[in-house]
Amino acid sequence: MLPETRYARSGEVHIAYQVIGNGPFDLVWVPGFISHVDHVWDEPRWAGFMERLASFARLICFDKRGTGLSDRVTAIPTLEERMDDARVVMDAVGSKRAAFLGISEGGPMSLLFAATHPDRTLALMLYGSYGLFSTAVMSPDKLASFLEEVERSWGSGALVPGFAPSLAQDRAFRNWWARFERLGASPSDVKTLMRMNSEIDIRGVLPVIHVPTLIMHRTDDPRVNVEASRYLATHIAGARYVELSGSDHLFCAGDSQRILDEIEEFLTGSRSHSEMERCLATVLITDIVGSTERVCSLGDREWRHLLVRHDSSVRREIARFRGKEIRTTGDGFIATFDGPARAVRCAEAVRQTVRDLGLEVRAGLHTGEIEILPNDIGGIAVHVAARVAQLAAPGEILTSSVLRDLVAGSGLSFEDRGVHALKGLAEGVRIFAAR
């Protein structure tokens, strides 16, 4: 399920934001030149990166003005306005002080915020960022060429090699990236934002930054020259500099776990991922069909009573089939099982017991390796199960071919529903319906 997206008002502009996790401190994510707080969850690498951050912090994400779900603007936004947007979002979620993670073009704004509001800045982290655009990213001549390329190919996925070379041949990722561009900003918006970025020079504020600072950059970054971060590290007092191998500018491409390890250790003093437990499990995800309509027809009070009965019934079946409840999703459940056949039978039992309450559910199952996080699970297997569940019709239980192959001889029967393209996966997945 997507995190809830809400809006904070910054002057006359509405800024879209999300809050994920409930860690002991706040972490503000400042994205690169475009973003879209909803669409990023459709890319498993990006979603997994965010989930890891949210496992040890309360993660606050937002779309900068002019991008994503935030209001479009006619004038070129300034760093000061963007800084105010971050402050307004913090106020909206009750954050008095937070660590800032500035990604690429999000770095200069984060640097300015840390210098201007040290009382509200717990720590500062930069990835693939810079202080002077013209030397770090592109000269005026190269900027003109880039804007011409935007005019020709924006929204097609053709720019992937300049951001994530390691994923340039991944068709599913290119399709996702193409939509990310279209949802993040129009070609005209991109030109406006890039002209603003081309004027960035915040080198003068670097001596004023006195908060703990971590700077990370990949040596062969094709978009932002590594010398830019080396310069930042030598001009911010006490900054820790980590140079990473690799040629991807996109943080979640390549060895993203190294970046996450550095961030977590910098903020908490330890790296939980190195000790993270992984195991093979079957993931079951259920969802009540038409929950919004039922709320409207029953009213809030009666719906709450019915939802309590639903939750109690589902928990009883999960326990009966030796499953483990991971969490609820508001109108559904995520659970894991150490046996795929038991997971399918649990889904069948849930379907029937929920029908007895006058409700209908859809369910999706997949077997794969999961990461065991504090009070949650992560990994590609969870995202596959969620995508499978989204394909299910009311009352339907769908499984991946991986699970179906594992329950041969169990007496369970399935109906082939063909190969489906699932968001974030390079190859199609054959889907089966439990009968």
| CA distance readout (Å), 413 to 285, 360, 408, 424, 435 | 20, 21, 9, 28, 6
- How far apart are the C-alpha atoms of 161 and 158, rounded to whole Å? 7
How sure is the predictor about 272, in pLDDT bands with cuts at 50, 70 and 90? low
Which of residues 137 and 276 earns the better pLDDT score? 137
Average pLDDT value for the chain? 90
- The yes-or-no verdict on residue 424 having pLDDT over 70 is no
Report yes or no: 273 and 260 within 8 Å, Cβ to Cβ.
Answer: yes
User: What is the pLDDT confidence band of residue 271, given thresholds at 50, 70 and 90?
Assistant: low
The answer to whether the beta carbons of residues 20 and 4 sit under 8 Å apart is no
User: In the predicted model, is pLDDT for residue 274 greater than 60?
Assistant: no
Residue 106 in contact with residue 127, Cβ under 8 Å? no
Give me the mean pLDDT over the 397-415 stretch. 90
Name the class of domain 277-434: alpha beta
pLDDT (average), residues 376-393:
89
**CA 38/CA 2 separation, integer angstroms:** 7
Alpha-carbon distance values, 389 to 292, 309, 313, 355 (Å): 18, 22, 20, 18
What CATH number was assigned to the domain covering residues 6-275? 3.40.50.1820
Domain 6-275 and domain 277-434 have a common topology: no
Which tokens belong to 171? 């068709």
Q: Which residues contact 101 (CB under 8 A, 6 or more apart)?
A: 27, 28, 29, 30, 53, 110, 125, 126, 127, 263
Confidence of residue 418 (pLDDT cuts 50, 70, 90): very high
pLDDT tens column, 64-108: 999 999 998 877 778 888 889 999 999 999 999 999 999 999 999
Closest to 313 measured CA to CA, from 325, 326, 295, 296 = 325
Question: Is residue 380 predicted with pLDDT exceeding 90?
Answer: no
- Report the alpha-carbon distance of residue 113 to residue 83 in Å, rounded: 6
CB contact burial 278-311 (16+ within 10 A = b; e otherwise):
eeebbbbbbbbbebeebbeeeeeeebeebbeebe
324 three-class SS: strand
What is the four-CA torsion angle of 67, 70, 74, 76, rounded to 10 degrees?
-60
- Domain ranges within the chain, ordered by starting residue: 6-275, 277-434
User: What confidence category does residue 273 fall into, taking pLDDT thresholds of 50, 70 and 90?
Assistant: low
pLDDT digits (tens, 9 = 90+) for 189-223: 898 888 888 888 899 999 999 999 999 999 999 99
